[in-house]
Structure 1
Amino acid sequence: MASACINHLAAQPLWILLVSSLGFLSFLNLSLSFLNWVYATFLRPPKNLREKYGSWALITGATDGIGKAFAYQLAQKGLNLILVSRNPSELKNVSNEIQVESPDSKIKTVVFDFSREMQSGIQLIEEAIKGVDVGVLINNVGITYPQARFFHEVDEQVWMDIVRVNLEGTSRVTKAVLPRMLGRKRGAIVNIGSGAAIVVPSHPLFTIYAATKAYIDQLSRSLYVEYKSCGIDVQCQVPLYVATKMTSKVASIERSSLFIPSAEGYAKAAIHKIGFEGRCTPYWPHSIQWFFCHLLPHSLLDSWRLSIGIRRRGNIIT
């Protein structure tokens, strides 16, 4: 019986055998990718961040949205916090709230407006991290357009602020914290990217924002390679829509759902991913959306994103 099957296969044209082999290999690759996704998403235990990296975490943009949710989650994991934001009263409120829920966590605050003079703010961060083992850095600070706009309509101050906050701010904070991680040969750097720059091929009417987030992705992937052998894990996390004040303002998202988590829901998933892949989509329904986006032609996604942007702008270009 076996010899008959072998003879039958040998009698097939070579191109049929090649196509069959390629089909089997593609199926095997897809199956392995799916099993790896299941393991990484639902079964893989998270790292003990305090033991692995150090007892302190620094979070930028820490008084609202994803940054604030990260701060709560990290405090619950037993880390001490350095919270960085531009509003001193909000910093005080968030610090007090976290202290009530996690009384054993030490908390420092740094008032830093990333859209203003950068060097003095970086000096404040450098002062705050002296003598403490900052093991986890969450580069969360980021801004976008106040509303959808074609590129020529965006005020220069608006897009310059986006570049300064999203691009320069993340780069400078990383540069300030990284040498101390290198000295201890351990650390985790998490840069918050965006599906606007990575999942879909374009993000019209939010062009500068998407471009800065593409920079964050490339920065993270390169640093991941540079410093992996030094005990430092650099990661770009790529969320899609999360129900925050920013998405409420620019995308009219008022509440969370299965595919649009709350900031707290996103942060819980994100904590579990720290220290693994160089790029990831922590919230599992987002990764499903990403998968199906990759099956669609870029031209279709481009048209879809442009139509959404125009609807949010309120009219068409003249």
Structure 2
Amino acid sequence: MYTLLTFQSQIINIFSREAATEYWVLLVLAAIGFLYVLRLISLFLPWIYVTFLRPAKPLSRYGDWALITGATDGIGKAFTGKLAKKKINLVIVGRSQPKLEELAKELHSKYAYIRFLHLQVRFVVVDFTDDDLDGGLSRISQRTADIHVGILINNVGISYPYARFFHELDEKLTKNLLRVNIEVTTRMIQLFLPSMLKHKRGAIINVGSGAGSVLPSDPLYTLYAATKAFVDQLSRSLYVEYKHSGIDVQCQVPLYLATKMAKIRKASLAVPSPDTYATAGLKWVGYEPRCTPYWVHSIMWWLIQMIPEPIMDSVRLRSCLNIRKRGQAKEARSKAE
């Protein structure tokens, strides 16, 4: 009888120890789960605030004039309308004089009433791929000599006609990518930064790309992605240099938009129109040095960061190879015609 009772006691002790161990394991897992939920909440609630609830800063704090490069199409054109609504005078820069004249008339007809018939729109014709870049910058300087450009939006940029390997880039495309995406952005900032420092106020908005800031790599668009990564780093460092001088520098990072450059005609939830993007973009001016203003793009950015880089690299490579194949077929058809 004694032996049986001892055996039963030992069995009870074993189960008690196992129950206690299981209890502590469950307790630790519950604590980890609770901390994970807190972490998600700590990320989600600030995102909700800055994306949907945070008030936009008044753009008039920077001055009465804004200059936009690449102003006749896409994001640049959308920015012009949004700024005019906010009673900001405009200097629009593009390479087509007829398009600039048409846009100036359109802005006057739509938004002059907001400024009580005093909305001012100036335009400067500059082809930034032209060899005489100094001459183009000189025309911009002369056209703005009597005003303070408080908001500079470096929007102009070029990409590949279609995806291609690095060794397939010709000299002209290579030169234009480096010229427009890097040199023009840099020299436009150098042109207007002294005036901003003098007035102790200004905003510099550089339009980047997910290719240079979000994706771990962008094969077959390598040089384009590298130029946009330059824009990102340039903006981030200038933000630190001049944030105490009253000048806000920001790199805005859109993903795909329904523009000519992206070769996407129809807007959707994940691919907004330039107008939708510009509305979001102006709400972020004066805040973070790097941002993805459109809310769906910010979710996509977060999801991309969750994917291991080798997987993302492989997916992007396959996608770009397909784009290259279609582009080559289209080019062959054009030559045949």
TM-score w.r.t. length of structure 1: 0.90
Q: Say which of 311, 314, 317 aligns to 2:325.
A: 314
1:133-165, Cα deviation, whole Å (9 max, x unpaired)? 211110000001111111111111101101100
How far did 1:199 drift?
1.1
SS of the aligned residue for 2:76 comes to helix
SS of the aligned residue for 1:113 comes to coil
Distance across 2 between alignment mates of 1:16 and 1:114: 64
- In our comparison, the structure showing a higher alpha carbon Rg is 2
Residue aligning to 1:46: 56
Residue aligning to 1:269: 280
Q: What letter matches 1:123 in structure 2?
A: S
Residue aligning to 1:78: 87
Residue aligning to 2:120: 106
Distance across 2 between alignment mates of 1:148 and 1:207: 9
Distance across 1 between alignment mates of 2:34 and 2:127: 55
SS of the aligned residue for 1:197 comes to helix
227-236 vs 101-110, which deviates more? 101-110
Residue aligning to 1:187: 202
Q: Is the 8 A contact 2:81 2:107 kept in 1?
A: yes
Alignment of 1:86-125 (within 5 A): 86-103=95-112, 104-116=118-130, 117-125=132-140
1:178-217, Cα deviation, whole Å (9 max, x unpaired)? 1100001111110000001111101111111110000000
Q: Say which of 246, 255, 267 aligns to 1:231.
A: 246
Alignment of 1:229-268 (within 5 A): 229-248=244-263, 253-268=264-279
Distance across 1 between alignment mates of 2:285 and 2:171: 36
SS of the aligned residue for 1:57 comes to strand
Q: Is the 8 A contact 1:56 1:81 kept in 2?
A: yes
Distance across 1 between alignment mates of 2:126 and 2:28: 60
Q: CA 1:131–1:18 in 2, change beyond 3 Å: closer, same or farther?
A: farther
How far did 1:315 drift?
7.3
Q: Is the 8 A contact 2:163 2:327 kept in 1?
A: no
Distance across 2 between alignment mates of 1:46 and 1:222: 23
1:234-276, Cα deviation, whole Å (9 max, x unpaired)? 000000000001111xxxx220000000111111111111111
Residue aligning to 1:151: 166
Q: CA 1:298–1:76 in 2, change beyond 3 Å: closer, same or farther?
A: same
- Flag structure 1 segments of 5+ consecutive residues without an equivalent: 1-10
Q: What letter matches 2:236 in structure 1?
A: R
RMSD (CA atoms): 2.3
| Residue 228 (structure 2) pairs with residue 213 (structure 1) | yes
SS of the aligned residue for 1:260 comes to coil
1:59-107, Cα deviation, whole Å (9 max, x unpaired)? 0000000001001110111000000111111111111111111113201
Q: Is the 8 A contact 1:310 1:316 kept in 2?
A: no
SS of the aligned residue for 1:268 comes to helix
Q: What letter matches 2:129 in structure 1?
A: S
| Residue 314 (structure 2) pairs with residue 303 (structure 1) | yes
Residue aligning to 1:291: 302
How far did 1:18 drift?
9.5
TM-score w.r.t. length of structure 2: 0.85
Q: Is the 8 A contact 1:67 1:140 kept in 2?
A: yes
When the two structures are aligned, how many residues end up with a matched partner? 302
Residue aligning to 1:174: 189
4+ runs of 1 displaced by more than 4 Å?
15-27
- Flag structure 2 segments of 5+ consecutive residues without an equivalent: 1-20, 113-117, 329-337
Residue aligning to 1:69: 78
Residue aligning to 1:5: none
Distance across 2 between alignment mates of 1:242 and 1:132: 33
Q: What letter matches 1:28 in structure 2?
A: L
